[in-house]
């Protein structure tokens, strides 16, 4: 599981044992899906380094400039990494996307706490209808 930290630069190390076509010159699109709300965000992330074993990708969460994901703290996300030829495309169905290279689950930590809202008391005269 990928552990992400809000308000700082985060990294994904993508193995080159997958079907990468040209890791040194291509771009990488990361799509994050909140597993609770099902909201999706996609950004082209920064490629920090490439060697014979892996590609190091980096992006910001909730702060910084460029490659920013706005993510709910203390939440689980699904991440998908796509290799593509476009430096700006954020649509996974675009023709520039060469394929899905990695998928997994991510945990976004943080300091926020869950807040509970008390619901109104139930009406004691609620009717129950049964179909016989």
Q: What is the pLDDT of residues 56-100, one digit of tens each?
A: 999 999 887 766 899 998 899 999 999 999 999 999 999 999 999
Residue 14 binned pLDDT confidence (cut-offs 50, 70, 90): confident
* pLDDT computed for residue 80 by the predictor: 97
Residues 6+ apart with CB under 8 A from 37: 72
Say what the pTM is. 0.80
Other residues' Cβ atoms within 10 Å of the Cβ of residue 10: 20
Pairing type for strands 54-61 and 97-108 reads unpaired
Which residues in 35-122 belong to E strands, given as ranges?
40-50, 54-61, 68-69, 75-84, 97-108
**Among the listed residues 7, 122, 116, the one whose alpha carbon sits nearest the alpha carbon of residue 61:** 7
* pLDDT computed for residue 71 by the predictor: 92
């Amino acid at each position: 599981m990928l552990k992400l930290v809000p308000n700082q630069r985060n990294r994904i190390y993508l193995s080159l044992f997958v079907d990468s076509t040209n890791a040194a010159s291509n771009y990488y699109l990361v799509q994050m899906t909140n597993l609770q709300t099902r909201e999706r965000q996609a950004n082209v992330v920064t490629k920090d380094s490439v060697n014979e074993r892996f590609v190091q990708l980096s992006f910001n969460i909730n702060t910084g400039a460029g490659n920013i994901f706005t993510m709910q703290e203390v939440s689980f996300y699904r991440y998908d990494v796509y290799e593509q030829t476009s430096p700006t495309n954020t649509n996974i169905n675009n023709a520039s996307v060469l394929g899905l290279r990695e998928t997994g689950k991510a945990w976004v930590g943080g300091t926020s706490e869950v807040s509970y809202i008390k619901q109104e008391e139930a009406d004691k005269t609620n009717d129950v209808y049964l179909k016989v």
